Amino acid sequence: MGRASNRKKTQRQTGGPSLRRIKQDTRSQTVATRSVFGLDAMVQLAGERVRRRSMALNAWLGDTEPVSAEVPPWPEGSLGHRLLAGTPLGEAQDAPSLLTAHLPDTRTIAADPRHWTVATEALIRALVFDGLTLDHPAVRALLGALTSVVEAEIAHMRAMADDLYSIGPFDNDDEVGFPALDGPVFLLGRALVEAVWAVVGDDSLADVDGVLELALDEVVPGLDAPLVVDALIAASYTREGPAGTRPLHRILNLSDNPLELLLEDEVRPGDILPVGLLVLSALAQLCHSDSVSVLERTTNPGT
C-alpha cells in the first residue's frame, strides 16, 4: 500500500464526521475549486455557498427572524468599520445568537458541513459581539459538537501539507477528501486574518507589533503573546500590506492560516478553536473605536 493510501487510512480513523455522508458536498466543492480562476465559477461557488448557508440557517432559527448583533455606527475608515467590512466578521454579526437560537443536535452539526459554517459564525458572534465566554453552556455545547469535525480537518490539513501526499497521476484512489471550505479551523483562521488587517490598517507592522503583543498578553494562559503575533502576521500578509511590508507567507513558505501555524507550535488540536476565539475577541476589542489607527487609539484611549 502506498504512503498516500496509508495517510488516507489514518484520516478515516480520526473519529471525525462520516466522509461518505458528505461525499456529494465535497465533490461539488472540488469541481468548483478546480475552476476557481474563472469568474463564472467563482460567482457560482459563492452563490452555492450562500444557498447552503441559508438552508442550514433555517434549522437554527426555525420560524424566528434573524436579528443582527448590535454595534455602534462606526464612521467609515475607522477601526470599527474596518472590522465589519471583512466578510467573516460581517457575516458573524448576522449569525444566530446562542442566547436565542435553537441549536440542531450535535450529531446533525457534526455530520453536515452546511452546519459547520453557521456553527463557526455563531461562536464568533457569541464571543465578539454578544459578550459570552468559553464557559457559557451554549458555547461549550457547540464547541463539543465541532470536536470531531476539527479533528478530521486537522488530519486533512496535515496530510495536504505532506509533500508526498500525492503519488502522482497514477494515484486513482477516489476516496472523498475533507470539505475544507466549510472547516471551522479554516473559517476561524479567515476571520483572524481579516481582524489583523482591520487592526493594522495603513500603519507599519513594526509599529503595530508591540500593540498586538500587549493586547494578546495573557489572553490565552500559557501561550506567549509574541508567538501568537508572529503567527498572525506571517499568515495575514499573503498579499500586499501596509507600506514597508512584504508577503511573509510566501517568503517564509508558511501557511496562510494563523491557527495552522499555532498548531505547529504549542497549541493542541483540541484547544485550537477556543484559542482562536479568544485571540479574535481580543483583536475585536482593539477595533472597538472610531479612530482610524490603532496607534492613535492606544495614544488617546478615549477615541
pLDDT band at 3 (very low <50, low <70, confident <90, very high): very low
pLDDT band at 298 (very low <50, low <70, confident <90, very high): low
- What's the pLDDT at 161? 74
- What's the pLDDT at 11? 36
Rounded mean pLDDT, 85-98: 89
Residue 251 has pLDDT above 50, yes or no: no
- What's the pLDDT at 239? 47
Residue 42 has pLDDT above 90, yes or no: no
- What's the pLDDT at 265? 73
**Which of 48 and 61 is assigned the larger pLDDT?**
61
Decide if 206 contacts 94 (C-beta within 8 A). Answer: no
What integer best gives the mean pLDDT of the chain? 79
| pLDDT tens-place string over residues 68-83 | 999 999 999 999 999 9
Percent of the chain surpassing pLDDT 70: 74
Residue 98 has pLDDT above 90, yes or no: yes
C-alpha grid cell for residue 200?
Answer: 493594522
Rounded mean pLDDT, 109-132: 95
| pLDDT tens-place string over residues 214-247 | 999 999 999 999 999 999 998 887 544 454 444 4
Residue 147 has pLDDT above 90, yes or no: yes
C-alpha grid cell for residue 185?
Answer: 479551523
Count Cα neighbours of 287 within 13 Å in the Cβ-side half-sphere.
Answer: 33
156-165, 178-187, 224-233: least confidently modelled range: 156-165
